[in-house]
Each structure stands twice: as C-alpha cells, then as structure tokens.
Amino acid sequence: MFRTREQLVNQRIELVNALRAHLYAFGHVAVQGIGYVGRLAQVVEGENTHCRVWCARSVAPCLDQIDQLTDRLAALKKKIDALSRKAEASRRLQTMPGVGPIAPLAVEIFAPPMENFKCGRDFAAWLGLVPQQKSTGGTRLYGIGCRL
C-alpha cells in the first residue's frame, strides 16, 4: 500500500509539472506545489483568461488525470488511516506532535524489531537521521539532518 501510494504521488507530481510546463509555454507562470492546482485549473477554465481554446483542450486531460489521482490517493489514505487506528503502536506514536497516521504505520511495518537496537540513537541512525556535518575539520556537529 505504501509503495502504491508513493507511485501515485509521483505520477501526480509529474502531471502537475507537465501542466505547469504546458501553461508556461503559453505565457502563464505557475507556482510550484500541489496546493496551487486549483489556480491552474482556473487559468485553464476561467472566462477572463488569455488561454486560447486549443491551450485549454491540450491541458484538460492533465487536469482530469490529476483529479483522478487525487481521488485515488484520498481513498488510499482512508485505508491507511483505518489500519493505523487498529495498530496499538501506531496509535501511541500518533500522540506525538506532528506525527500522522502514515509514518508510524510504516515504521511498524518496515522497521526491524526494536530489540535489535541498543538505544534510540541507533534507531535514528537506521532511519537515516544523522548529525549535519557543517564543519571543515572540527568535531562540532549541528542539528539533525535526513540523508534519505
């Protein structure tokens, strides 16, 4: 389920970038991010737009596919949320601020048993969270960065 979700997210990102590129070719500069797709749809479908009819016809399939992928992702998210509510470890991890239903369920499914780690630092290293090396030769380490 996680890999399917990742694939759908990547496909949606590709489509949004393609839509932005098509609109850029017609002189419309768009902000990056999935949150701005509604604005892109307004540019294409709006009455006060300078987008020609053939421009709207060429990017309409992209908008339709983005909507379909968004619906599929929402359905998949509901399934993941339901599974996350059933798992006790996942419920406990979600009590932490900023932790949603996806990350704790992924840790529960993909991580080895916690008994394999000597301490929390070893688990953080397994996740890929390592101190940021900003120094040129000293031993001072800065905050945590992710190498994933």
Q: Which two tokens stand for residue 96?
A: 């932490």
> For the whole model, what pTM was predicted?
0.71
Residue-wise pLDDT tens digits, 17-73: 998 888 888 777 888 888 888 888 877 776 655 566 667 677 888 889 999 999 999
> H or E segment at 110?
helix 102-110
User: What amino acid is encoded at 66 in this protein?
Assistant: I
Whose tokens are 């996740």? That residue is: 127
Residue-wise pLDDT tens digits, 91-108: 888 888 888 888 888 888
Around Cβ 70, how many Cβ atoms within 10 Å?
Answer: 14
Cβ(124)–Cβ(118) below 8 Å: no
Residues 6+ apart with CB under 8 A from 148: 127, 128
Cβ(106)–Cβ(1) below 8 Å: no
Nearest by Cα to 16 from 3, 1, 35, 43: 35
